[in-house]
Amino acid sequence: MHISFFGEREKMASRKEIEELKKNWADNPACNIEHSPGFEDHFDELLAFRQTKEAIWKNELFERRVQEIALLLQMNNLTLARYVLRLEDRIAALEAGGR
C-alpha cells in the first residue's frame, strides 16, 4: 500500500493483476508498460519485462529474416531476396515511426 498525492491510501496491484497486465501488454504493446497507472510500485519489474520482451521479439524477427533469405538464396533468387529485404526495412521504418 502506498500514499497517493492527495494523502489517500491506495492498494498495491496484486501479483495476478501484474501478470494480467503483462499478458495484455504482450498481446498489444502499444505503450510503455512501466508507465501503466496503478502499477507505479512495480516500475522496475515492468520496465525489465518490456525490455526483455522487446529483445526477444527483435531476435525472433532476425531469425525469421535469416531463414527467409536463406530459402530465397537456395532458390537462386538473389533479386527477390534483395526485394524482400528492402520491403522489410521499409515496414520496420514505418512501424518505428508509428510508436
Divide the 99 residues of the chain into consecutive groups of 10 and give the mean pLDDT of each group: 47 90 93 93 96 94 86 82 86 76
pLDDT given at position 98: 56
pLDDT given at position 68: 83
Residue 45, exposed/middle/buried by CB under 10 A (0-12, 13-18, 19+)?
Answer: middle
What three-state secondary structure class fits 10? strand
Decide: pTM greater than 0.75.
no
